[in-house]
Amino acid sequence: MEKQIINTKNAPAPIGPYNQAVLTGNLLFVSGQIALHPETNQLVQDDIKTETRQVMENLKAILTAAGIDFSNVLKSTIFITNMNDFAQINEVYGSYFSDAYPARETVQVAALPKGVNVEISVIASK
């Protein structure tokens, strides 16, 4: 099966040997996004809601580059470093979706890249 690499300057450049997203068939696999601002390459960590919003905006930019939006998301994975932040993360995350929410898991982890508090990846259908 053929794969197409999706990258956009409207989301942070990968910080390792990976791409922002890979499209194969009608499935788009979006790499985990953290709260790096794509223009400044600086972390946005004023508070957990602001951090989560930047993560979601990065995901939105990648989905847009692939010609789709959050309504196409089938599954998401949320990694957080503090489960006490879950309600605030969930509030921001939920505002990007309508009634047809994707499948999801949320996992507390010991640490994330660059010391961030939240990282989210998605799988979408084109």
> Under a CB-based contact definition with an 8 Å cutoff, are residues 62 and 6 in contact?
yes
First to last CA, the chain: 16
Query: How many distinct helices (H) and strands (E) make up the chain?
Result: 2, 6
pLDDT per residue over 65-107, tens digit each? 999 999 999 999 999 999 999 999 999 999 999 988 999 999 9
3-class DSSP string for 72-115? HEEEEEEEECCHHHHHHHHHHHHCCCCCCCCEEEEEECCCCHHH
Phi, psi of 26 (to 5 degrees): -105, 15
Q: Tell whether pTM > 0.95.
A: yes
User: What are the structural domains, with CATH classification, of the chain?
Assistant: 3-125 (3.30.1330.40)
**CA 46, 80, 8, 96 torsion-angle sign:** negative
Token reading at 119: 């990282």
pLDDT per residue over 17-39, tens digit each? 999 999 999 999 999 999 999 99
